[in-house]
Structure 1
């Protein structure tokens, strides 16, 4: 007994079409508006808001300072950034800043904490040399604890090698 290929193909298509057209006959339950918003939190506007954070974790209008791999000196384009931060601090004599040293995740935890501290101290000394009173500046090292980007590539690592300048009250 031989079955024609066309007949088999037609039978399979009919079966698949039947399965596709048949579906769950139940209607989705009507959810009250109270339950729809449950767990979503308060409604927030999508309007743009002025924030105190501009780049990284740095308080605006200051900018973070970025470092080369395994370095703690403020060099190159970063000089202009730290000088801009000093200008802001000179214009706001009551503002105090915490300089937060950060590292990329390469290296041991201990090494990165020490490198983050050297970076924060380097920025503090630079600001003091530019005329900012030392009592307005504090430092902390986060090492690799406060990453901005979690990638394993040079772009991510470069964003994590930085000092953030955070206004403290």
Structure 2
């Protein structure tokens, strides 16, 4: 397993053909989230009711690209965080439209996002990041024989094959601020 790559978002070039976007490299299927995700900083009023406010935003267009022949996948998205470090945890859940009660989950490693120390108020580039993660999962293998499939005891041991027809759901949590020091876990 490799750690996700987190890069500050660059200023968009104005010249045509310089967007940096490249086409798919594999025999792929692609799932893209058309809606944004917001994880609010947990805040509460005196009665304990949740108070909405700032938090981390994952913009529209978060993308999962899968090579079903090798089991490799790429996850990429752009996120803006509040003016503090954030550790982001994401799970992607695949739901078979014919068996919604039997979902499959892919958990990404924690993603640490830390704003630039010299970020200026009003300049979002210090808090906006492009995140790319490449991984491998046998759950996503399609044409590699039976070694990569999940076996389902209810189906007589037949493999469960995840494909592009499955629904993809995203679940995320975030820890805001600096992590607690190991030598003083009670502070």
Q: Name the TM-score, length of structure 2 as normaliser.
A: 0.29
Higher-strand-fraction structure? 2
Mark the structure with the bigger radius of gyration.
1
Higher-helix-fraction structure? 1
